[in-house]
Amino acid sequence: MPIVTQSDDPNNSASSPGLEMDEFLPIVKFKNPSRYPEEYGELIQSDEEVTLSKYLDSDKRTFKILQLTTDLEQLRLTFTVAQGGEKSEDEDGYVDIKLSQEDDAVKLLTKNQLKVDYGDEIKLDIEWKGEDQKEFYIDFYANDDDDFLNDGEHENVFCGRIKVIFKGPNEWEFAVDKINEIKAYAIANNLKYRRSRTYADYHHCTDTHKHIIYKLLNRPAGLDLAKDQSQGRETPKDYEKAGESTTHGVRNKLMATTYAESSKIFTVVDINDNEVLLPNGQAGNTDIPLGNFKESPVEFMKGKCLDNGFYVFIGAYNDDYHSFTIIIEKDEDNFKFEFLDQLIGVGDFSESQLEMIFLETIQSWRNNFPMNLRLYQIRNQKK
C-alpha cells in the first residue's frame, strides 16, 4: 500500500489504497456462445447467478452463468480476456484456471496459469474419462505480473466462471474401454476354442456371455451367475444340478437384479408367409425354408439405442441352444454391429447380414428345438 510523507515534516505520513490504474482487472468470458456447435453439447444460460470480484466494474461482475452439458470425452473451449475495470491501465498479467472438481476422471490439460493481455484468447482443453456424471465450475482468477511500472496489489481477482456437466452414459450405454475389454476377451477365448482338446479348455457360449457381462459390470457384489461349465451335460437341468451356469439361469438372474429387462422373443415366418407356431401360440418348428422374422430383431435393437455410444445385447437361438453377444455402436443415424461368441470371436456384420445369419442359424439348428430368437439388453447399473 503506498505511503505519502509530508516533505517538510517526515514524521507526518499517511497510507492510501493503491491506484486502480496499476491493477490488472480482466474479465474472462466464453467466446461467441451463440455460435457454439450443437454437436459439442448444449450451451445455455442457466438460472444460476455468480458475482465476481468487487474490484471489477459493477455492471460486469454479476450475471447468470453459462452451462455446457456434453458427452464428449475431450473438450476445447475458447474464452476471451476483456478489460473488467474501466480504471485499469495495466493491460497484462496472469490468469489462473481452476476446476472446482478435478480428479482422475476430469483433468485440465491446459496450463493452469497463463500470461495474457486484454484482447487475448484462452483455449482451454479438458479431458473426461469416466462413466459417472460430473458437474463442476471452471473459474478464472487474475494476478498482476509484478511489472515495476504497474505493480498492482490485488490478488486472486475472481474474474470469470462457466459451469460444465459431463453427463455420462445413459443407463444402457457402455464406455469404449469396456467394449474393447470384452472384445479382447472374446478374441482370446476364440483362440482357446480353436486350440482346445478338452471341454474345459475354453468358455462355451453360456460362460462366454456370462464373463462378458461380468467384465461390462465390473463383477458387482451380489451378482452370482453360477460356476463355469466344466463338462458337457445332457440338459440345462444337469448343469443346474452341478451348480453351473445355464443361458436361461444367467438371463433370469440379470432380470431379477435389474441389470436387464424382460427378454423379447422373435418368431419366424416361412417362405409361404406362415408364422411358425404351435397350436398353443408358442414358437414351433418346420422344414419349410424360412422367409423372414415376423418382427425385425435388428430394428428392435436399434430402437433401444437412445444416444450415440455403445450398447450390448445378449441373444439366444432356439430355446437357448446357443447364446451370443451383440455390440451396437450408434453414431447419429449410423449403426455398427459386432457379433461375439466362442465360435468366431468378434465378427462385423451389416444390418442385413446380421438378420440373415440369425435366420440361417435358427433353421440349421431346428431339430427338436422351437425356431425363435430371444434378445435382451444389458444395463450398466442397477435400475
DSSP letter at 45? E
Grid coordinates of 253: 438372474
Report the pLDDT averaged over residues 304-331.
95
- Is pLDDT above 60 for 85? yes
Grid coordinates of 31: 467466446
Under CATH, which architecture does the 3-166 domain have?
A: Sandwich (2.60)
Residue 14: predicted pLDDT: 45
Distances (CA, A) of 178 to 170, 182, 258, 301: 15, 6, 20, 19
Q: Check if the beta carbon of residue 52 is closer than 8 Å to that of residue 159.
A: yes
- Please give the Cα distance from 203 to 239 (Å, whole number): 14
At 114, the pLDDT band (50, 70, 90 cuts) reads very high
Q: Check if the beta carbon of residue 178 is closer than 8 Å to that of residue 329.
A: no
| Window from 149-158, 178-187, 339-348, 350-359 with minimum mean pLDDT | 149-158
First and final CA of the chain: distance in angstroms?
A: 61
pLDDT in tens, 212-226: 999 999 999 999 999
Residue 47: predicted pLDDT: 94
Report the pLDDT averaged over residues 68-87.
91
Residue 368: predicted pLDDT: 79
Residue 168: predicted pLDDT: 73
- Please give the Cα distance from 118 to 111 (Å, whole number): 19
Report the pLDDT averaged over residues 110-137.
90
- Please give the Cα distance from 325 to 281 (Å, whole number): 27
At 17, the pLDDT band (50, 70, 90 cuts) reads very low
Mean pLDDT score of the chain: 91
Residue 134: predicted pLDDT: 87
Residue 3: predicted pLDDT: 45
Q: Check if the beta carbon of residue 55 is closer than 8 Å to that of residue 93.
A: no
At 96, the pLDDT band (50, 70, 90 cuts) reads very high
Angle at 200 between CA 195 and CA 201, to 5 degrees: 20
| Window from 142-156, 231-245, 289-303, 359-373 with minimum mean pLDDT | 142-156
- Is pLDDT above 80 for 147? no
- Is pLDDT above 60 for 1? no
Q: Express as a percent the part of the chain with pLDDT over 90.
A: 76
Residue 39: predicted pLDDT: 80
Domain ranges (residues) in the chain: 3-166, 176-377
Residue 73: predicted pLDDT: 84
In degrees to the nearest 10, what's the CA dihedral of 374, 377, 378, 382? Answer: -110
Nearest to 209 by CA among 118, 82, 324: 324
- Is pLDDT above 80 for 335? yes
